[in-house]
Structure 1
Amino acid sequence: MRNNSQRKNSNHHNKRGIFKYSLIASAIVGLSSTAVQAEEKIKQEDIEVIEVKGQRGNLISAQNMKMEADTVIDAISAEDMGSLPDRSVLEAISRMPGVAIERFAAADDPDHFGVEGGGVVVRGLTHVRSEFNARDTFSADSGRGLSFEDVSPELMGSVEIYKNQTADMIEGGIAGTVNLNTRKAFDADGRVFAFSADATYTDLREQTSPTFSALYSDIWQLDSGRLGFLVNYSNSEMKVESNGVQVGLYEMQSWDNSKFIPRSTRLSKKLDDRTREGFATSLQWENTDRTILLTGEYIRSEAGLSWGESVMEMDDSDSHSNMLPVAGTEFEFDENGYFESGVITSEAGWRGDGNPQRYGMQHNMQSRSRIEESIVNDYSFNVKYTPNDSWAFNFDIQYVDSTMEIEDVSLMGATRAVVGMDLTGSSVADITLYHPGYDGEGSDTSANPFTDPTKHFFRSAMDHVSDNEGDEFASQLDAEYTFDEGVIKSVQFGVRYSDREQTTRQSDYNWGVLSEAWAGGNIWYSDTDVPHETVSFDNFARGGVLSMEGGNAFIFPSMDLVRDYRNLNASLANAKAVDWGWNPLADRGDTTGGFIPNEINDTQEKSTAAYVRFDFEGDIDGLDYSANVGLRYVKLENDTAGFIIYPDNVPEDPVDNGDGTVTIDGDFYRVADQKAFGNGGSESQIASSEYTNILPSVNFKLNLTDELLLRFGFSEAIALPSLGNLRNYVDITGEDNVITYGSDINPETGQPDIVSMAYDRYTANSGNPYLKPMESYNYDLSLEWYFAEAGSLTFSLFYKDLSNYFINGVTIRDYTNNGATQQVQVSGATNGDKGTIKGYEIAYQQFFDTLPGALSGLGIQLNYTHINEDGSPNAGLNDSNPDSSEAADFAFDDLPLEGLSEKNANAALLYEKNGFSGRIAYNWRSEYLLTTRDVITTLPIYNQANGQLDASLFWDVTENWKLGIQGTNLNNNITETMMQINQAGDKKTRSWFTNDRRYSFVVRGTF
């Protein structure tokens, strides 16, 4: 019975005990509820409890969870999360086998680096289910699950990653299920007070930010039983910086079609201010005979991310296609004709005398602010009733309330410059900016144009907002009957019902011109009172990357102006050359709260499930085994509200001929049915869909020896489509069955001769409220050797046979308007294709106790995952913009699966002795496809193989006090992306990103 993060482990111990050392391992005293439950059992058996703390105790606790699990899992304890400088649950779980994280703000946005990561991949797939205490949880975005980067690790008691399933688990974890277990009042025997405080310095940002957490729990003995209360609070801030250097699409030059030069360069300085505030409390009561346990919990996770970005981007896309070397200089190319170095000017302002005017390249100077606020409130109440040794009952209710808001505003200025680029270095490209009059010898460079307001003009603005809210009510009832004897140890059965409602509001990215030569003329900074500011790019990418005469300082639109979104339009009044240019989203017609109808998605999803599970124990030729077999019935009902807008293609002044044709101007005829359908009307609609399935699962564990076990797992699993891709807004365009006739009458037919006939279906871009879940048959086979209390070597094979992928495709739907029915070709999300994911995982950990003296404190952790896929299609979908089908138009065929690294590895050197505890950890993943279609280049973008080195050292000053230092990104990892430039798979570097090294000083106390 899986509830509140615990299975009833007592039913799954074999007759001989799991392993020789299992009593010691089970006696670990920690904050993990699994360990505490094991300790209480041991006390009841009057066995001496051996307390193990520190890293060794953390590893034993996690190893014990894995060893006793009913299916394939990996786990990490709360203390282990705290031993490394992980600021979110996302960072912590990236050190587990088979788990990788993204390092960008979003996978389809490779221009914005995310220092702390932004997405989780399990065994090569992103369809990961998230849970709080084995219950459903989610962030109110257009996706499906929880944003793990928003959750404070200080709230956790443990984290479990289920890589296969049992029948009692909630459906949806086709890649894996990440279960976040919060601490409970009864996890400890008595009063506990603990706190942690640290200060973190970031070396690029050169700022220090604090983190604080505290926990208090106590237990009171009452006449009616015992009462426990726990409260846990955490608050953290992080101020980080990332610098990016980027080159654009390589374009063939007309002066030599064998030469290719990047269209643009981009330099970005991004400052992230991250806040996390977490609160969790639990109240527990248990009666004197321990037959009734009541648990009430409240969890609140509040996260904010505010980032500001200053971007200089060379962009002459509106000028002549050629780019030329400055006089007296030459370009250097590689053997394939691709640019490597040189000083670039353009043909803008061509005089017509055969010589380019030395006018430089236009540069956008963009200030961008993005503010994200996410809140998840989780309320739950659980009743466990165990009237006797045979029966156990569980009742659980939960309510989740989640909101997410985004405000994203950009303001662009512009100036001109000559650009020097050297792409031949071993790390980041070198960029030099020159006066636009630079001629290779320094002439006409007496004034620095980059800090001169007379050389900059306000160019454009763009805004995007999001306002999402969702809630879910869920209830579950379970029962378990334990048999006194026989092969069948127990039978579990239960039902679950949930009702989730969510409103997702996602605006378009609303770009508009402020001033341009082609749009009313330029409005220069010096001619208006609209604020601007000077931004320093000194030490950009830690120096040696950017150079400019007079210092690396540049004028940008004021960041304070950009962040004051409510007053931005009024503030820009003097920067607008035309009235028809940029105006804020709320000024569009027919808006509700600033959103037009097709930007609003209302979804209600009801889930009904029932399961039965049989647990077995016995022996085969003297070898003990345990197993579970089950079936889970799932019924999903989805109602998605939306609109249909019909085309407006009724011809003006048609003459109905009464024979199915109309006459226009005497010679153009259309089918009369079209007149009724294409009347420009609209109507609201609710699209309803239903899905049912029965999901089998089988898990088997065989103890080959006292230390060696063989595990097999099989299950059918599903993944639910993202809510964004269920959007039900259909804007129909085009026309059908168009017939063009000549003016002369055919004497034989009495009708005009047909000049042409076209059968072009009506078309639309939309989400798909009829999407079915993705399905998979999951197979696992593992051999697990637990040779010491904190020592193990495990090897796992896995295979997933997947179908019903979510892809961008075309569906044909019938729509009726004014009594006329037409077929419409709708582009958007659909189900299709099959594929497989397969691979293996190896994990090893050990402390070398037999080494002499101080060396006996050494330990090691290693894990490696190898993944292959075959036939898996890339989705070509965008959760936040499902109405667009452009992403399906990939530049090349046979692209690898997005997000899948073939190789993933973690290595850690551990030390624990004489009050000192240290760890050096390296996390690495091989190259992977970041996005199939970059929004700027339209090319596939790959994240190159890279790794990050982190370390920590703690000292137990006393039994209650601990001091520590932690370091992140100690190897100064540079994240490099590549763009695929042809079908053959050749790649050129797209960007380089550097980010802070972080250093933390930590104080912890436990009383």
Structure 2
Amino acid sequence: MAHAQNADVPTPAPAAQTTTLDQVQVTGIRATIQTSIDKKRDETVVSDVLAADDIGDLPALSIGEAIETITGASTHREKGGASEISIRGLGPFLGSSTFNGREATNGSGDRSVNFNQFPSELINTVSIYKTQRADFVEGGVAGTINMETVKPLAYGKRNIQLEGRGTWQAYDDRLKDNNGVGWRGTASYIDQFDMGGAGKLGISIGLQGLEGSNPEEMFSSSSTWVACDGREVVGATRNCTQVDGNDVAGGVPYYLAPGSRIYRQFVEHDKRDSQFAALQWRPNDAVEVNLDYQHSKRDYSEDRSDLSLSSMMRNINNRLVSDTGALLHHTGSTSIDSTSNFLERDEEYSGGGLNVIFRPGPAWMFSTDLSYSNTLRNQYERSTRLRAGRTDIHGNPVAGVKNNRYVDYTYDSIGDVPSIHLDPAFDVNNWDNFTDSALVRRRQQTREHTIRAGRFDVAFTPESGFFTAIKGGLRRSEATYTDFDNTVELSTTNAGAIRAANLACRQQFPQDDFLDNASGNTIDRWASFDSRCLFRAFTGVDDTGPSDDLRDPANNDVTEKTSALYVMGEYSSEWFGLPVTGNFGVRWVRTDVRSVGLRSDLDVIDNPDGTITLQPTGDFTSQVLKSAGHEWLPSFNAAFELRPDLLLRVGAYRAMSRPDLAAEGYGRSFNLQDVDTEFNSISDALRSINATGNPRAEPLMSWNGDVSLEWYANDDTLLSGALYYKQFNGGSMPVVVDETFIIDGRTVVVPVQQLATSDQTSDLFGVEFTASHSLSYLPGIFSGLGVKVSYNYADSNFETEDLRLGASTDPISGVVTPGIVEPANIFGLSKHVASAQLYWALGALDLQAIYKYRSDYYQQFVGDPAQNRYVRDTGSLDARATYKVNRNLSLSLSASNLTDEPRVSDMPILGSFREYTTYGRRYYLGLRYRF
């Protein structure tokens, strides 16, 4: 297929002449965009590509932020950086991510890739395939993201590169730990060797280390919300009365309330090390061997100080409620806790593979690929709590605390965060007041995700005819996921022990100006304690270690085996008088799931105030659930050459997205022993039994169609527009499954809610637009200006019911309990996603500004199923300047989140405030040297 040539690039003079004309060498961001345009054009499916000729030239600070600049891609921001990727407004579970064409593991229990573990300096191509091909790894309803490292022989030259960056987080100025400056260092080496009779050998090695901090400030709420009876006056000594969907359908008014509100201050430290290596060997023209290996290790710590208003559902009166049930104003009573938490997480990733290609002749190619990917995450938390008591450490009454150990408050939902006014008689900054219900908790969590996979492919190239290639192959993979939780919990009401620990472990509030940028905030500091000091004071040791019995009914043990076969034909022909190329084929996929869970017997404990708690007896039984299914995934792609510079692409395919591995767990979690989880009755207590997953959940299937028109006016100019449609055969909704538990020695049938794939059909329509252009024809310095803009619009009638407050179905009887709150749309769907890049090449200086916008979306929790959470509209501005001192040395200055954009979320409906998180601006000063 012919490529339009840039008329501004002069042609080399004939060899017979003694002089040659200088060629225009395009470098920097403009060169990266040119390479990306060229690769997009050459792809056989509807796609968008971000590519650089040299490693380290991707115009972004991380892989996640690089992907954000690709049309239709958006990210969910955690710790101030880009994490989960949504394609065309569809959440990460509807897409698939691969590294060098293979599935990769992570420590979160979902199917997305942890992009932070792959250094952007060692990646040179990121592709998003928006239509499917039969030989792709299954899983891309939204699309497939593939990251690629450089192939050393294809790279074709020696490169030794050293790069260092210093980082500074603006919010670190508020902290009192003096850890504001971080660093990131990268080294890479690529080379090729002619080994004579042994062929050619290429090697690539990359190393990276980094260390820094991630300052955050947060106002949050619990992840469990209930619907309360709007008719009642709530007594001062009890929680509101909950209502269900049948009550609301019968006309009972309601309001939505969380269990707690939390002010959270962080001091964090992050350290990572990565090593990449690749070997490419061609002993002759018939054989090629590729071997690659990746390893990364992350050590992360978080020292957290919380002020927890831990029982916000008591005494809720004087209510102002919106039409949708959101609490806008109310009074109430709550216990008040100063909670300290020290978390340590180490996460290690190892992956790699062996790929062998054999070409016995020009018509045949055989390829085999064996791969391994493993992520092991260990997390240890030591948390302590001191609650405001009726008397202080000297035995004097605490002003503002009532006999039931609760403090009155007034809540107003105004400003960026709600205004909470505690009884002015209570001093939240006085350490003396926190003398009650001391709690020490050690929690250990281990997650391990492993994928072992192998595939075999064969391709036949006919000498002539309609088909240019006929391909087929098979793939087999086994994914295992285990999570392990162990909690050791000690509590005491011993006044002497609490007094001694309180006096010994006080600390000054760790930062200044807490949430000072958030309008409405009323609490900017509180009495805080050293978490490790308190832990030692109450236990006598730095770490108690795990409990003697490591069994836990919340643990998951999932094995998923996948078998796939495909056949595909690639063709080149003429249809309707137009040259056309493309492919069509079908993929067959079988999935087998085996999930193991424990069930715990429970005792009912009667509390003095008339409430109850559930307590495990220590007796467990193991249960295994198996499920299986298979699907056919046909696909068709065609690219019509309307003109040498104008392409019309069409694609139609069926795709599948499996539930996350963690969502296929068979564990059950219980809110049991904490004082804050007292229940009014056994029926209320049984509502606390949650399913960690559902092994029976079926994949989400969809039929998809795409039409894309792409104009390649010249090397610098791309205009493209696409229309796409998806019909989903299934949706996510709660079902109520009767399960048996032993409670107080009796077998009790408990209705347990869990998420399942429904039979509903829903649609999604979308349009996307991309424009990229260099203004090289402008005079003087303005000739270096260029722009790239992209926009995606998507709308769907997909419904995701809230796990607790949405409509639910009994799968046996078919009885539907109506929902209280409106369902969310599909995970990750933002109606509007846009990005704009402005770059300016001024000789050796490259300037770039990137603005990214995403409208509100439903953000699913990773791990245990939880209620619907919505993230509000967000937009952020990043900037980058690079100065090339000479052919070897370059300097860079980058900044992210210049707009100081917070992340704000609601739950379980939009307008019902849940969380405000702010990160501040970040700056990076870098130096790169190439040999």
Kept after mapping to 1: 8 A contact 2:692/2:864:
no
Matched residue, 1:281: 277
Report what 1:780 is aligned to: 706
Say if 2:654 is the partner of 1:716.
Answer: yes
Q: Distance in 1 between matches of 2:290 and 2:581?
A: 30
* AA at the equivalent of 2:561: K
Which residue of the partner structure matches residue 786 of structure 2? 859
Corresponding position of 1:189 = 156
Which residue of the partner structure matches residue 630 of structure 2?
Answer: 692
Matched, 1:623 2:578: yes
Deviates more, 1:862-871 or 1:990-999: 990-999
Contact 2:35 2:53 in 1 (8 A): no
Q: Structure 1's 966 and 511: CA in aligned 2 closer, same or farther, altered over 3 A?
A: same
Q: CA deviation at 1:803?
A: 2.1
Q: What is the 5 A alignment of 1:318-329?
A: 320-321=315-316
Q: TM-score, normalised by structure 1?
A: 0.73
Residues 116-515 of structure 1: matches in 2 within 5 Å? 116-123=81-88, 124-127=90-93, 128-206=95-173, 207-224=180-197, 225-245=199-219, 254=233, 266-288=262-284, 290-315=285-310, 317=312, 320-321=315-316, 362-415=335-388, 427=416, 436=425, 450-453=429-432, 456-457=435-436, 459-507=438-486, 513-515=491-493
Q: Does 1:830 align with 2:756?
A: yes
Match of residue 717 from structure 2: 791
**Paired residue secondary structure (2:361):** coil
Alignment of 1:607-1006 (within 5 A): 607-643=562-598, 684-729=622-667, 765=691, 767-810=693-736, 827-832=753-758, 833-874=760-801, 876=803, 891-930=820-859, 941-979=869-907, 987-1006=911-930
Query: Following the alignment from structure 2 to structure 1, what is the Cα–Cα distance between the partners of residues 7 and 75?
Result: 33
Counterparts of 1:933 and 1:190, CA distance in 2: 43
- Pairwise CA distance, 1:698: 0.4
Q: Specify whether residues 645 and 994 from structure 1 end up closer, same or farther in structure 2 by C-alpha distance, changes over 3 A only.
A: closer
Shift of 1:834: 2.8
CA distance in 2, matches of 1:939, 1:606: 29
CA distance in 1, matches of 2:424, 2:719: 62
**Secondary structure at 1:855 match in 2:** helix
Change (3 A) 1:716 1:80: farther
Q: How far, CA to CA, are the matches of 2:315 and 2:669 in structure 1?
A: 37
More displaced, 306-315 or 64-73? 306-315
Quote the offset at 1:915 in angstroms: 0.9
**By how many angstroms is 1:826 displaced?**
6.0
Change in CA separation of 1:238 and 1:255 when aligned onto 2, cut-off 3 Å: same
Which amino acid counterpart does residue 696 of structure 2 have in structure 1?
A: Y
* Mapped partners of 2:691, 2:867: distance in 1: 22
> Take 1:723 and 1:933, find their aligned partners in 2: how far apart are those partners?
10
- CA 1:641–1:314 in structure 2 vs 1: closer, same or farther (change >3 Å)? closer
Cα deviation for residue 934 of structure 1 reads 14
Query: 126-135 vs 839-848, which deviates more?
Result: 126-135
Conservation of the 8 A alpha-carbon contact between 2:182 and 2:211: yes
* Cα distance change on mapping 1:84 and 1:698 into 2, 3 Å: closer
CA distance in 1, matches of 2:321, 2:619: 57
1:715 offset after TM fit, Å?
1.4
Return the alpha-carbon distance in structure 2 between the equivalents of residues 380 and 280 of structure 1.
Answer: 12
**Per-residue CA distance 1:801-849 (angstroms, 9 max, x = gap):** 112445431457999xxxxx99996642432133222211111111111
Q: Deviations over 1:441-486 (max 9, x none)?
A: xxxxxxx762444655563344433212233322222111112222
- Percent identity between matched residues is 22
Question: 1:24, 1:789 within 8 Å by CA — same for their partners in 2?
Answer: no
Q: Which residue identity does 2:591 align to in structure 1?
A: L
User: How many residue pairs align between the two structures?
Assistant: 828
Distance 1:980 1:689, change over 3 A: closer
* 1:798 Cα deviation after fit: 1.5
Greater shift in the superposed pair: 710-719 or 260-269? 260-269
Partners of 1:453 and 1:82 lie apart in 2 by 55
Shift, 1:895, TM fit: 3.4
In 2, distance between residues paired with 1:568 and 1:49? 73
SS of residue matched to 1:204: helix
Q: Deviations over 1:256-312 (max 9, x none)?
A: 999999997543222332333221101111135x33211111111323432222222
Where do 1:26-37 residues align within 5 Å?
A: none
Residue segments in structure 1 that go unaligned for 5+ positions in a row: 1-13, 28-46, 105-113, 325-331, 349-360, 438-447, 574-582, 650-679, 733-759, 816-820, 879-887
Amino acid aligned to 2:438 = R
* Alignment partners' CA distance in 2, 1:143 and 1:260: 29
Query: Which residue, 31, 37, 40 being the options, matches 1:63?
Result: 37
For residues 231-277 of structure 1, the C-alpha deviation after alignment (integer angstroms, 9 at most, x for no partner) is 01111223121222458999979599999999975432223323332
How far off its partner does 1:61 sit? 1.5
Residues 386 and 435 in structure 2, CA contact (< 8 A), matched pair in contact too: yes
Deviations 1:838-869 (A, max 9, x none): 21111111111111110111111111111111
Look up the equivalent residue of 1:226 and give its one-letter code: K
Does the 8 Å CA contact 1:525/1:532 hold for their aligned counterparts?
Answer: no
Instruction: Report if the CA contact (8 A) 1:453-1:524 is conserved.
Output: no
CA distance in 2 between counterparts of 1:400 and 1:974 reads: 34
Distance 1:339 1:394 in 2: 61
Mapped contact 2:802–2:821 kept (Cα < 8 A): no
Q: Structure 2: which 5+ runs fail to align?
A: 13-20, 174-179, 236-252, 389-397, 401-406, 605-617, 671-685, 742-746, 806-816
Equivalent residues of 2:365, 2:459 under 8 A apart: yes
Distance in 1 (CA, whole Å) between partners of 2:894 and 2:692 is 48
The 3 A distance-change label for structure 1 pair 791 and 687 is: same
Instruction: Read off the aligned partner of 1:560 and give its amino acid letter.
Output: R
Distance 2:576 2:110 in 1: 49
Are the aligned partners of 1:364 and 1:413 in contact in 2 as well (CA < 8 Å)? yes
Query: Which residue among 538, 560, 568 is the counterpart of 2:532?
Result: 560
Shift of residue 765, structure 1, vs aligned partner:
5.0
- Give distance in 2, aligned partners of 1:22 and 1:391: 39
Mapped partners of 1:584, 1:721: distance in 2:
36
2:557 to 568, 581, 602: 602
Shift of 1:614: 0.5
Question: What is the one-letter code of the residue matched to 2:874?
Answer: N
| Secondary structure of 1:892 counterpart | coil
Deviations 1:958-995 (A, max 9, x none): 111111111111112133334567xxx7x254443321
- CA–CA distance in structure 1, aligned partners of residues 87 and 162 of structure 2: 32
Q: d(CA) in 2 for partners of 1:947 and 1:967? A: 15
Decide whether aligned partners of structure 1 residues 958 and 136 sit closer, same or farther in structure 2, where only a CA change above 3 A counts.
Answer: same
Quote the Cα distance in structure 1 between the aligned partners of 2:876 and 2:58.
Answer: 13
Q: Which amino acid aligns with 1:276?
A: R
Alignment RMSD (CA, Å): 4.4
CA distance in 1, matches of 2:40, 2:255: 57
Deviations 1:352-406 (A, max 9, x none): xxxxxxxxx7532222233332222112111122233222221211122321222
1:906 to partner: Cα distance = 0.6
1:391 to 1:48, Cα distance in 2 relative to 1, 3 A: farther
Partner of 2:509: helix, strand, or coil?
strand
Distance 1:645 1:316 in 2: 27
- Tell me the SS of whatever aligns to 1:704: strand
Give the match for residue 539 of structure 2: 570
